Amino acid sequence: MKGFRFLEWGVYKDAKKLFHEILKIVHVLPKEHRYEVGSQVIRSALSVVLNIAEGSGKSSDKELSHFFNIALGSIYETLAALDVLKDNKLIEEATFEVLSKECESIANQIGGFKKKIRKDLSL
């Protein structure tokens, strides 16, 4: 699948891994939380994955940067939802710490892509 460059990107793979972990967390949430905060954290984590993929198919670096901005916002939203789950004792502190490091890594990778794009645009 040569045309789908995002499939090889580490940031895409990491975002998919985070999404998988989010699904496992939501699956064990009490029912009264699964459909509200659970649904929201699933959507925000999936948004990271999908915006990386969608941006990769755009024809300009400016468009790609736009989708990376959306993905970056979604990773912040995901981390905020995880923080709320932690504060309400719905996930363990240790789980939050691991996932927050994954969020930070993804955010840093997206930032690196954006920095490279800005550099390329200024040439």
CA 3 to the chain's CA centroid: 22
Question: Which bin fits 89, alpha (ψ -120 to 50), beta or left (φ > 0)?
Answer: left
30: domain CATH number? Answer: 1.20.1440.60
Give every CB contact of residue 35 below 8 A, 6+ residues apart in sequence: none
Residue numbers of the domain that contains 80: 5-122
Q: How many domains does the chain have?
A: 1
Question: Is the overall model pTM greater than 0.85, yes or no?
Answer: yes
CA–CA distance, 4 with 53 (Å, rounded to integer): 8
pLDDT tens sequence for the chain (123 residues) = 467 999 999 999 999 999 999 999 999 999 999 989 999 999 999 999 999 999 999 988 889 999 999 999 999 999 999 999 999 999 999 999 999 999 999 999 999 988 887 776 665
- Residue-level pLDDT at 3: 79
- Buried residues in 10-25 as b, exposed as e (16+ CB within 10 A): ebbebbbebbebbeeb
- Residue-level pLDDT at 122: 63
